[in-house]
Amino acid sequence: MFAPDLWILVTLAAAVFQTVRFMLQKFLATATLSAAGATFSRFIYSWPFIIGLLAVYFAVTGSGWPQIGNAFWFYGLLGASTQILATVCVVLLFKQRNFAVGITFKKTEVIQTVLVGWLLLGEGVSWLGFAAIALGIVGLLLLSGKAGTQGIRLSDLGNRAAGLGIASGVLFAFSAVSYRGASLLVVADDPILRAGVTLAVVVTMQTAIMLVWLSLREPGEIKAVWDARRVAVWIGVTSMGGSFCWFVAFTLQNAAYVKALGQVELILSVAATTLFFKEKITGREWAGMAVLVASIFMLILVI
C-alpha cells in the first residue's frame, strides 16, 4: 500500500514544516512571549487541527480506535514531557545565538538518538557509528567556542548556549525514540493511523501539562498566547504538519535514520538566518557546523 521510500518523503516534509515553525517561535519569543509561552503556542494551536483531522480520517476510512499496548502510555508521556523541555531549551537558545547555530545545536539529537535508541529499544550502532559520534563532539566544541578564539577546549561546552543546545538534543532524542516506541505499540497496519493516534494522545498530554504549568507559574502568559494568535495559529498549523510527518516516518523507519535524513533542516536554517533574520555566521561557527554535518552524514552511512 505504501512505497518503501515513503519515510524519506515525509521526513523531508517534516524538516520544512519544523524550520518554519521554529522561525515563528523565535519571532514570538523575542517579540512577545516567554520561552514557555512560545512552546505552549505550539501545542494549544495544533491540538484542534490534529483531533479534527484524526476524526475525519476515522470517518473517511471507517477505522475505529485501535488497540494499544500498556507501555504505550509510558512511552507517550516520556516523549511528551521531554519534547516540551527540549522545545523550551531551543527557544531559549535562540535568544543566545543566531537561528542557524541554534538549529545546529539542536541537531545533535541525531547523534544522541542513536545512543538513546540503543538504550531504550536495543537499536544499536557499529564502532564506525561511534567514531562518527566522536567527530560530532569535535564539531560541538568548535561550535561552542566564542568567536575569535583559537582551538577547542572542553570548557567551551560549559557555556549557557552549549548547555541549552546539548540539553535540547538529549531531550529531543528521548522524545523521538519514545514516540517510535509508542507508535509500535498501536496495533494497526496503517502507518497513518498509528501516527495519527500517537500524535493525538501525545499533543493532548502536552497541552494539559503546559496549561497546568503556566497556570501555576506564568498565569499571564496564557492570555499573551491568545493575544498572539494571529501568528501563533501558524505555529500550530506547521507544528501539526511537522509532527504528523515525523510520526509517520517513525512508524516506518528506525528513529536514528529518520533524524539523520532530517539534517536537511540545517540547510534550511542557514537560509533562514541569512535571508529572514539577517544574522551573520562567524567563521568558527561555519567550521563547527561543517564538522558536525560531516559527522552526521558519516553516521547516516554506517547506521
Highest mean pLDDT among 21-30, 199-208, 231-240, 281-290: 199-208
Domain boundaries, given as residue ranges, for the chain: 6-302
Quick: pLDDT tens for 67-91: 998 999 999 999 999 999 998 888 8
DSSP summary character for residue 193: H
**4 exposure class (CB count in 10 Å sphere: 0-12, 13-18, 19+):** exposed
- Chain centroid to Cα 37, Å, comes to 17
Q: Is the pLDDT of residue 12 over 60?
A: yes
Over residues 6-22, mean pLDDT: 85
pTM over 0.75: no
HSE-up of residue 23 (Cα within 13 Å, Cβ side): 22
Q: Taking all residues of the chain, what is their mean pLDDT, rounded to a whole number?
A: 80
**Pairwise CA distance, residues 224 & 201, whole Å:** 26
Contact assessment for residue 105 and residue 162, using Cβ atoms and an 8 Å cutoff: yes
Quick: pLDDT tens for 152-178: 454 555 567 777 878 888 898 888 889
Q: Is the pLDDT of residue 97 over 70?
A: no
Q: Is the pLDDT of residue 146 over 70?
A: no
**Pairwise CA distance, residues 152 & 165, whole Å:** 17
Quick: pLDDT tens for 115-128: 777 776 666 667 77
Placement of cell 496503517 in the chain: 190
Over residues 229-243, mean pLDDT: 87
pLDDT for res 39: 87
pLDDT for res 290: 80
pLDDT for res 253: 78
